[in-house]
Amino acid sequence: MLKHKNEYKKMSKIDKLKKDRIDAMKAKDVVAKGILSYLQSEVQAVAKQELRDFTDEDITEVAKALIKKNQSLIDLGAENYTELKKENSILSEYAPQKFDEAKLYSIINDIIDNLVDEDKGNGMIKKIMPALNQYGDMVDKRIASQYINKKSADIEEAKTK
């Protein structure tokens, strides 16, 4: 089902979900078909309740909730933990995990290193945050902005010395 991961890079999560579900049916993968069908129906229910079409963000949020629910069952010693782990593996493609702080800081530092000197310091957050958008949901924007503001203050302080 996931052998063609590169073709998904520019595909919306909605399109990816539909394609993965069809691929799972063709492969007769009962677990994948079941969890992807369930994900799609849950997302559609959320959208219907709010009287709108479902979005990629809805898919992410529902997938995260399903992963959390499955993990609780695994932690309680569910007999079908192998199936639940497989479901979580499939769902994780729709609910990307955020970078840990070390990885996020490293990415931000690389972006800062590539800024021209006059863009460094106060206001550099306006240059860095758009560059972080390429990582989508994997970036905790609150932590990123706090770190950028700290780095900005450090750079300004170094300029005055």
Rounded (10°) CA dihedral 25, 30, 33, 38: 150
Residues 10 and 86 in one domain: yes
User: For the stretch 15-47, what's the b/e string if a residue is b when 16 or more beta carbons lie within 10 angstroms of its beta carbon?
Assistant: ebbebbbebbeeeebebbbebbeebbebbeebe
Determine the residue type at 16.
K
User: Is residue 66 domain-resident?
Assistant: yes
Report pLDDT for 10. Answer: 60
- Which residue in the block uniquely carries the two structure tokens 């229910």? 45
Q: Which domain holds residue 33?
A: 5-91
Rounded CA separation 59/123 (Å): 34
pTM: 0.61
Residues 130 and 152 in one domain: yes
pLDDT, one tens digit for every residue, the chain (161 residues): 444 444 445 678 999 999 999 999 999 999 999 999 999 999 999 989 999 888 988 999 999 999 999 999 999 998 888 999 999 999 999 987 888 999 999 999 999 999 888 888 888 999 999 999 888 878 989 999 999 999 999 998 888 87
- Residue 128 to residues 54, 96, 111, 115: CA-CA distances in angstroms? 30, 21, 7, 9
Residues 156 and 107 in one domain: yes
Residues 118 and 40 in one domain: no
In contact, 125 and 115? CB cutoff 8 Å: no
- Which residue in the block uniquely carries the two structure tokens 């450090």? 154
User: Is residue 107 domain-resident?
Assistant: yes
Domain boundary, last residue among 38, 56, 91: 91
**For the chain, what is the domain count?**
2
